[in-house]
Every structure is written in structure tokens, then in C-alpha cells.
Amino acid sequence: MPISIIEINNLHFSYDNKDEILKGINLSLDLRPTAIIGQNGAGKTTFVKLLKGLLRPSQGRIMLNGLDTESLSVAQLAKNIGLIFQNPNDQIFKNTVIDEVMFGILQVNKKIPKHLAKSTALDALKMVRLDHLSNLNPYDLSLSDRKLISIASIIAMDTQIIIFDEPTIAQDFTGKLLIQNIIKSLSAQGKLVISILHDMDFVADCFERVVVFSKGTVILDGPTKSVFAQKNLLLDVYLEQPHIMQLAQELKMDDNVLNVDEFINNFKNNNYSGGSKMKKALLIIDYVYDFIADDGNLTCGKPGQALEQNIINLIKTFQQNGDFVIEVSDNHDESDVYNKERTMFPLHCFDQKGCKLYGEVDNAIDKNQNYLKINKNRYSAFYGTALDLKLKERNVNELHLVGVCTDICILHTAIDAYNLGYKIVVHENGVASFNPAGHEYALSHFKNVLGAEVIS
């Protein structure tokens, strides 16, 4: 468990002894960089002023490294806690940038030589990339530069705890990135970084922990991703999730993502397209009684029967992953004299017995919304059926093929799938044929002509 730097116990505060601003706050702050968020008036700024000693609790106590801050003066607290004001104009008062940044150093360490204080100040200005402006008047610079000067002033004091109040105010993208890197650098040095923020994207990029204030109480506290996942609770207190997380949810991604890198990785790894995650489907082709049973009308016999457990295992895997299981089988009309298969093969799959899935395969399928049955009367599962439409409705782009016969119905289905743009995976231990040579030819064709993945 992380070691607490600050312990807050039953903290209350009011300005007029009537309306409480803070109402019984209990928090342990460790070295994790922590963002404090909440709407205006939630008590955030009052809270950090209490940490800094600029205000004193009405009730409760704040412990800093085991010491009650009630017993410490503001000057003593200043050696441990640095506060960067929201408005730099409330903080800056010296006539030159270098004097402004040196001021805090000289206050917390009265014995430091001036040349060493100046060197430390210049190092801090280098961190904010303003060392070349050290001799200018801060008020001749932009608001964004003054904000960076106020940050440098606190960094230079080398306090154990640094509190930022709205650090991204007046900053463009480059400025925000600079401050983000500063926060990460300070945290890496073993400093506790706390920040009040309204910029949720910046919070997501920088902070490991988020504390949500509302009406003087803490309503959420935890790892950043966990807190931002509480969409409805955040909306109740008029806060939004980071924009990248909102986009991920609109795209129905499985995981909450906090930044662009996570978004891109999630998108690539899970293959999203058209606003939702692309899915896989297991096509069980012609694994029915007439093709598999010993007394089936057009049976593969033992080679087909040997596939049963492998197909059942695949069904279980697909169902557990929330992917689709699709049963595709011949279903012929024995009176249809125009069906070409009637003249090439014995009559098959024309009655209920012949069209039933073989063995325990039927019992293994959970026939829920992710199950589909397609009847066909040609070799390809796509020809004359709604299979392509059904797959597209379900955002399926990857087909896993099992069943029989490898060199007839599975091959023709794979060719049509290839022409329709599907990724094809053939499970070698899930396909068979009554023609061993044809079986081997088809496996080669899948791989070398259709670019399919053949899994052994």
C-alpha cells in the first residue's frame, strides 16, 4: 500500500460559521499524482488552501508527514508545500522574471547564497523554457508565460508537495504538453503533485488518481480510469468524461480508454469499423447426419466423425468470447429435379434426420442471439442465401470454417468469402472430406490462393 504523505480526517470548513464549504472530508494522499475535479463551488480551492495553511480548519485535522498542520506556521508549511495560483497575477509581484523565481528560494532557505539561488532559479526557468526571458518584467509577457513563471517559482523552491491550481489556463497545445512533462518529471522525482483541474483530457493524460468534489464532499476517489468510467455519476455533478473516452464509447469499444495511444491500440487490436467492434463467426458447414453418420446418404464417415470434439471446443470458445456460431447446411427438396447436385450426388439432406447436426454438436450450441442457421442448396454457403447480409448486420469480418467437405462446400464458401472481402481462417482439425487428395488440395488452395490462415 502506498505511504501516505497527507492524512485528512473529518475536515470541515466555513467562512462564516454557518454555511459549510467542506463537510467532513477524509482522504489519504500518497505519492500518486492526483487530480481534484468538480464544478465551481465544490470546495476544491478551499481544500488546497487548507492544505497549504492559508486557511485553518473549522473542525478536523490535516496531518503532514505525521505532524498536525495546526501546529505549523504558514512559513513552515511553505518549505513542504508549494501552491501555484490559478491566476499568476495573484502570485507575481517582482520586477524581473529572475527575481520572481528567486524570491521563494530565498524565503525558504535564508542561508542560501544569492548566486546559488539564481542558478537554481535559472534551472527552473529552463524547465519551463523561459530562461532566455529572465531579465524581463513578467508583466511585459503574455498570460501564458506568466503562468509558466509562477510554475517555475514553485519548482525552484524544491518542496515535497506541489499543488497546481488550473495549470493549463491560457496554454496552447505546446504549453499543455510542456506542463504535462513537468508534472511527470516532478512525480518521477518522488514529489507529490496535486492539481485542481477542469480540463478532463489533461487529467486523463497526467494523473494516476482522481478525487471528485461536489458540494463540499468527496463523491468519487480512485484510479483515473475507474473514476472516469462512472459516466452517470459524473454527469450528475455536471462533469464530462475525457473526449477520447467519449469517442471510444460512441464506437462501442469494450475498454475505457484515457488517451490517444490507448485508443489507437484498442482500435487496432480489436478491429473496429463502422462505429462498432468487428466480430468473428464460426461457420459449421454441412456437419449433419447425412454427411457424417455411418449410414448417412453422402457420408464422409470416420474422418468426419473424428472432428466432433474439435468442433464442440471451438463452439464453446466462440460463445464464451461473445462471437457468432452459424450453422450452414444443405436442405434440399427431393422433388426439385432442376438442382444440379441431384444428378451428381446421391439424394441427401432432404429430411429432418439427414439435416440434423451430427452427434453432440447440436447440444453444444447455445441458441441465443449469437446463433444463426442458414439453409443452402448449393456448394457455397453464400450462393442464394442471406449469409452475407446477416454477417454484415452483425459486423462480422472474420470467418472460421469447419465441417465438410473440405474440397467442395468449404472450398466454395471460402472462395465466395474471399471475393466478398472476409478474412478466412480454416481449422485443419475441424474439416474433412471423403476424398483425401481433394482435402489436401483444398488446404493448399486456402493458404496459397485465397490467403487464408490454416490453423492445424
Can you list the positions of beta strands (E) in 201-278?
209-214, 217-223, 272-273, 276-277
Backbone angles phi, psi at 125, to 5 degrees: -65, -30
Q: Is 420 helix (H, G, I), strand (E, B) or coil?
A: coil
User: Does residue 126 have a pLDDT over 90?
Assistant: yes
Angle at 119 between CA 115 and CA 125, to 5 degrees: 140
181-192 confidence digits (pLDDT tens): 999 999 999 999
Cell numbers 465551481 correspond to 40
Cβ atoms of 319 and 366 closer than 8 Å:
yes
* Contacts (Cβ under 8 Å, ≥6 apart) of 99: none
Residue 82, beta-bridge partner list: 162
Q: What is the pTM of this model?
A: 0.64
Question: What's the pLDDT at 181?
Answer: 95
Q: In this structure, what C-alpha cell is assigned to residue 296?
A: 448417412
Question: What's the pLDDT at 273?
Answer: 55
**pLDDT-based confidence at 261, cuts 50/70/90?**
confident
Q: What is the DSSP letter of 358?
A: P
pLDDT above 70 as % of the chain? 96
**pLDDT-based confidence at 271, cuts 50/70/90?**
low
β-pairing verdict for 272-273 and 276-277: antiparallel
Domains annotated for the chain, with CATH where assigned, are 6-240 (3.40.50.300), 242-269 (no CATH), 278-455 (3.40.50.850)
371-424 confidence digits (pLDDT tens): 999 999 899 999 999 999 999 988 899 999 999 999 999 999 999 999 999 999
Angle at 451 between CA 449 and CA 452, to 5 degrees: 115
Task: Write the CA distances from 384 to 29, 32, 406, integer angstroms.
Answer: 66, 61, 20
Residue 364, CA atoms < 13 Å, CB-side half-sphere: 22
Task: Write the CA distances from 281 to 36, 196, 224, 268, integer angstroms.
Answer: 45, 48, 35, 19
Q: In this structure, what C-alpha cell is assigned to residue 355?
A: 439435416
**What is d(CA 346, CA 297) in angstroms, rounded to the nearest whole number?**
7
